[in-house]
A and B are shown apart, each in its own frame.
Chain A
Amino acid sequence: MATVTITMKNPPALYLEAEYICPDEFAGKTVAQIAELHVYEGNTKSTLGKYFEVSGDAGATAEDTKIVVRGDVKKVKYIGMKMSAGEIVVEGSTDLYAGAWMTGGRMLVKGDIQAFAATAMKGGELIIEGNAGNYLGAAYRGDWRGMSGGRILVKGNAGSDVGMYMTGGEMVINGNVDVHLATHAEGGKIIVKGNAPSKVAGQMVEGEVIIFGTIDVMMPGFKYVDDVDLEIEGITAKFAHYVGDTGERHKKRKGQMVYGHLYQKI
């Protein structure tokens, strides 16, 4: 795999929209061509090369291309947007919509990530070593199609509205989450090793949410069923099993009503 390294040398005054920092866009291009790719600073169209020093080589295809992003990119949005293959490593923290609409490949962010990361993600892997913001793996504003495939791992905490309208895929959050986890979910699996304050899985109709820590206020639409032994991420423990959200419409499959499942470690 060929590696392109881009290093922030001229930080923007405004936020930078850089959806072309993506293996699909870099593949098959020379360093000079990569530096010519468009970015927007505010409403001004500019080039990647104005802000970043570009070095290394891109592969012939996205699959063969790895991008290493160095320097302060806290004000850079859309890194890895729509990536389908290859790899991105962000050595620091980054702004909104990282890995949004990604369909494949692997993206690693060593710092924190802001809101709307992995919006409507379809496949691939997103690993965040720091904390994630709000609306991780959620649907775009107004849309009803959230994360539908792939895997997300957050080693720190995540914000509110994580997994909103999630329909598939898997998400593991080692820390705590804020309110409105898995709202409207219709599939997929979310594992939270820490705590979730309240409004967990409201209007969820299908899928699984597993909470290792506390839930301050349980949604009234969830019904306790039984205690179960589960092996989650290599840990075997006893969980209280709830189904819901009983206030919602539920479909039937093979004569059985389909529910969202909420497990809380006892």
Chain B
Amino acid sequence: MAEYIIKNGFVFDPVQGIKGDKSDVAIKDGKIVKDVSKSAKVIDAQGKTVMAGAVEIHAHIAGPKVNLGRIYRPEDKLFTCTATKGIERTGSGNSIPSTFKTGYEYAKMGYTTAMEAAMPPLFSRHVHEEIRDTPIIDEGAFPVFGNNWFVMEYLKNHEIENTAAYIAWLLRATKGYAVKVVNPGGTEAWGWGLNCLSIHDPVPYFDITPAEIVKGLIEANEYLGLPHSMHIHPNNLGNPGSYQTTLDTLQLAEGIQPKNKFGREQVMHITHMQFHSYGGENWGNFESKATEIMDYVNSHKNLTMDTGNVTLDETTTMTADGPFEHHLTGLNHLKWANCDVELETAAGIVPYIYSPDIKVCAIQWSIGLELALLAKDPMRCFITTDHPNAGPFTRYPRVFKWLMSKKARDERLTTFKNADKVIGASTLANLDREITLYELAQMTRAGPAKSLGLTSICGGLKPGMDADIAVYDFNPEKPLADPEMIETAFSKAAYVFKSGVQVVTHGDIVNIGNKRTLWVDAKVPDNPQVMRDIKEKFLKYYSITQANYESLGHHFVPNPYALEVDATQV
């Protein structure tokens, strides 16, 4: 494989503590190395910013609900199709881009790893077929466990070992990466037309509470020592006053210590926190509770989170939180799709317009930025848009601009239609902090990689790590004449390397790289009871056989990369 040396760039690497020093990064055989031979190809990064490839910790980019969104929103493709260009295939869609466009757009922004945040286990084959067709970026998928019948039956009796054995089996069967929880218990309750809006609302029939599900899954996750922690979308998403439910959920992790060999320090990752930081009793007195939420997160080291920034676009909301989507269609009266996934989960989809002229949308925008700006430890707070729920992932450069430039966000904040009310509903106007490039590298590279247990592989530029590198046309030593320069630079990277292959040159795709599917292979002691339960559920309840359930072989996972854990000696 070719050798490269990226010369004279301003390097930002939290893994090694490099804060903008002018130095070289060498690549050999797909890895970052200390030195290369004189024949190495030189990439001139003079006056440019060099970072590791960015890591997406939470986005909805592959699988049945993403595809249903594509099918039922032809208007999302209107005027957003891209023609064939060089090696790039055609693409379509804005908030729900086609698989190829998804891979290209991430790569162009310097992202080299992304996690599909909610895989319905029953449809893992569909998820993997789409992942396979998303070029360049390494991807993993989080199967959802929070409303799973096995999990609820085991955890009702606090059977952690059985839950862990089931998780290990399901991760292997679906080639999954982590334990995802969406509205624990609530989505199952939705099958009865109900919901769980607090962590103590009992789930119908199963007679278990969200609190018991969450705590049990954290324990099972740590019993196995998985690379990532339990990853949760808490109950009561998106409602005024939801912050209280969020704080209750966060407290469930109190006192639990991480146990893993990957360097991960958290036991709970809370996703799209913006949707869970709402105060007020109704949409009239709706306000931010970001301060209360961040006070808690800042003082609890066993938590990580991502923001879920609203980007003020027309987008498509999609979540395994079925009851929430029904609630949302009742608010905006736009079309609604709903799907139940037998024994496991559900999903709903509703288009949504985050209009700058609507007070609530502008406050939501404020909250997302506030969360990131109030984070004391950028290694534990990551930037996402919960793509496509709060906005398309292609808007990351714009979010970076708002976070890195007070001028840019004040311009937006003071020109909202209801600016006075919006400013009064959050502390954003009083926050002077501007995220630095080093902090940005923490929030988009080193931080998410560490939270995912990928520290030895990606998110940094230390020799031995994969050569996932992004070079941006951004000179940190030059005074910033116009904040737009941030958005422009991060939208189209000058150069991107993925595992040592140059995939982007001056914002164009030049190679589709060597895309891998990341999954976690967890070994557990033989557990005949769980194996019998699985067999029985397939015979009694599932509409397909066990043999047709698993994602196996080259067709579904052509280039797998398994992270191994061994829980047989626990």
Contacts and interface: CB of A to CB of B under 8 A. Distances in A.
Interface of A: 139-144, 249
Interface in B321-376: 333-335
Contacts of A144: 334-335
B19 interface: no
Closest 7 CB pairs of A and B: A143-B75, A142-B74, A142-B75, A141-B74, A140-B75, A142-B73, A140-B78
B331 to A, nearest CB: 12
A142 B333 contact: no
17 contacts: A139-B75, A140-B74, A140-B75, A140-B78, A141-B74, A141-B75, A142-B72, A142-B73, A142-B74, A142-B75, A142-B76, A143-B74, A143-B75, A143-B78, A144-B334, A144-B335, A249-B333
Nearest to A145: B75
A210 B352 CA distance: 33
A172 B76 CA distance: 30
Chain B interface residue bracket vs A: under 10
Contacts of A143: 74-75, 78
A142 B72 CA distance: 7
Contacts of A141: 74-75
Contacts of B73: 142
A32 B334 CA distance: 46
Contacts of B75: 139-143
A15 B386 CA distance: 41
A142 B78 CA distance: 10
A142 B75 CA distance: 6
Interface string B52-80: 00000000000000000000111110100
A101 to B, nearest CB: 9
Interface in B132-158: none
Contacts of B76: 142
A142 B76 CA distance: 9
A36 to B, nearest CB: 18
Interface of B: 72-76, 78, 333-335
Given A139-B75, A142-B75, 12 more contacts: A140-B74, A140-B75, A140-B78, A141-B74, A141-B75, A142-B74, A143-B74, A143-B75, A143-B78, A144-B334, A144-B335, A249-B333
A40 to B, nearest CB: 10
Contacts of B78: 140, 143
A143 B76 CA distance: 9
A141 B73 CA distance: 8
Nearest to A249: B333
Contacts of B74: 140-143
A140 B77 CA distance: 11
Interface centre among B72, B76, B78, B334 (most CB of A within 10 A): B78
A183 to B, nearest CB: 14
A165 to B, nearest CB: 11
B313 to A, nearest CB: 16
A206 to B, nearest CB: 13
A144 B72 CA distance: 12
A212 B459 CA distance: 70
Nearest to A251: B333
A208 to B, nearest CB: 21
Contacts of B333: 249
A141 B75 CA distance: 6
Contacts of A140: 74-75, 78
A140 B335 CA distance: 14
A142 B316 CA distance: 13
Nearest to A119: B78
Nearest to A205: B333
Contacts of B72: 142
Nearest to B334: A144
Interface centre among A141, A142, A249 (most CB of B within 10 A): A142
Nearest to B73: A142
B79 to A, nearest CB: 9
Contacts of B335: 144
A129 to B, nearest CB: 29
A253 B47 CA distance: 59
Contacts of A249: 333
A139 B72 CA distance: 14
A206 B135 CA distance: 47
A24 to B, nearest CB: 15
A77 B78 CA distance: 16
A140 B73 CA distance: 10
Nearest to A186: B333
A141 B76 CA distance: 10
Nearest to A143: B75
A45 B75 CA distance: 24
A77 B182 CA distance: 46
Contacts of A142: 72-76
A144 B353 CA distance: 12
A142 B95 CA distance: 14
B477 to A, nearest CB: 42
A141 B77 CA distance: 10
B89 to A, nearest CB: 14
Nearest to B333: A249
A119 to B, nearest CB: 10
Nearest to B75: A143
A31 to B, nearest CB: 27
Contacts of A139: 75
A207 B525 CA distance: 68
A211 B139 CA distance: 58
Nearest to A45: B83
B373 to A, nearest CB: 35
A140 B75 CA distance: 7
A144 B334 CA distance: 8
A118 to B, nearest CB: 15
A249 B74 CA distance: 25
Interface centre among B72, B75, B335 (most CB of A within 10 A): B75
A143 B351 CA distance: 10
B93 to A, nearest CB: 12
Nearest to A139: B75
A143 B75 CA distance: 6
A221 to B, nearest CB: 17
A180 B241 CA distance: 43
A139 B78 CA distance: 12
A206 B343 CA distance: 43
A255 B151 CA distance: 50
A39 to B, nearest CB: 14
A228 to B, nearest CB: 30
A60 B75 CA distance: 33
B507 to A, nearest CB: 22
A142 B96 CA distance: 14
B63 to A, nearest CB: 20
B560 to A, nearest CB: 36
Contacts of B334: 144
A143 B72 CA distance: 10
A140 B351 CA distance: 15
Nearest to B84: A43
A140 B76 CA distance: 10
A143 B74 CA distance: 8
A249 B335 CA distance: 14
A99 B72 CA distance: 25
A144 B78 CA distance: 13
A141 B335 CA distance: 13
B347 to A, nearest CB: 19
